[in-house]
Structure 1
Amino acid sequence: MSTFDHSGLIKNINQNLVPLRKSQPDAMQAFGQLARSAMAEGAVSAKHKELMALAIGITQHCSGCIGFHVKALIKLGCTRQELEEMLTVCVYMGGGPALMYTAEALSAFELMSADAVSA
């Protein structure tokens, strides 16, 4: 099992972006609004949108994306079965490299789910 700390990575990313949020507030607020609008419930559910975002993060090899979107999926009640079915599509479309990040996503889901239960 991976020992990669996605919760710590999310925290570090957020901390490292504080200066950019201060120096470029309009751009950072616009990005935040884009994210909120894109991920809002609509004809496609927020959970399905998060599954798509995680799939893109996996196939783009983005550990930060994996952390943020796994965290969101847990909050939205994503099941392990839903996650695993989506991950098989990632492997189908992304091959071996996607399989490596799939393992990372599974580990993040397990660890962050356990953290959510104990919180």
Structure 2
Amino acid sequence: MLMDWIETLRKNRAAGGLLMKANPKMMTAYQGFNANQNGNGALDAKTKELIALAVAVTTRCDGCIAAHAKAAKEVGVTEAELSDALGTAMALNTGAAFVYSNRVMDAFQQFSAQ
């Protein structure tokens, strides 16, 4: 086991209570944003959680991983579906590294030409 994800989720939720006390307007807006993120209903719950987990990987958010892994299990995401979504996230990260490597090479070439 890499981390205790259940404990991570519990701690993040408890810490959120501190932030709610310190900045209730911001936290109320955050909670509203999350509650309404699928307002038009175009995506089913499984698809939404698979996207959330792929994004959590690319943004490196442990709290997001904990919350959305729990939610994914609750809406019936399978391990096969999850591994496909994570494969897409991994491919995108390598794709982004490729694109930004091209940018570095381009910048280097421009400075070399000076």
Please indicate, yes or no, whether the TM-score normalized by the shorter chain is above 0.5. yes
Q: Which position in structure 2 is the counterpart of 1:17?
A: 16
Alignment TM-score, normalising by the size of structure 1:
0.72
Mapped to 1, the partners of 2:90 and 2:77 lie a distance apart of 19
> Equivalent residue for 2:54?
55
* Distance change >3 Å, CA 33–CA 10, structure 1 → 2: same
SS at match of 2:37: helix
Unpaired runs of 5+ residues, structure 2, are: 95-114
Structure of higher RCO (CA pairs closer than 8 Å, 6+ residues apart) = 1
TM-score, normalized by length of structure 2? 0.75
Q: Identity over the aligned pairs, expressed in percent?
A: 31
Give the distance between the partners of 1:23 and 1:70, measured in 2 at CA. 28
Confirm or deny that 1:35 pairs with 2:34: yes
* CA 54–35 in structure 1, closer or farther in 2 if over 3 Å, else same: same
**Any gaps of 5 or more consecutive residues in structure 1?**
96-119
Structure 1 stretches of 4+ with a deviation exceeding 4 A read none
Match of 1:65 in 2: 64
Q: Is the 1:40–1:46 contact (alpha carbons within 8 Å) kept by the matching residues of 2? A: no
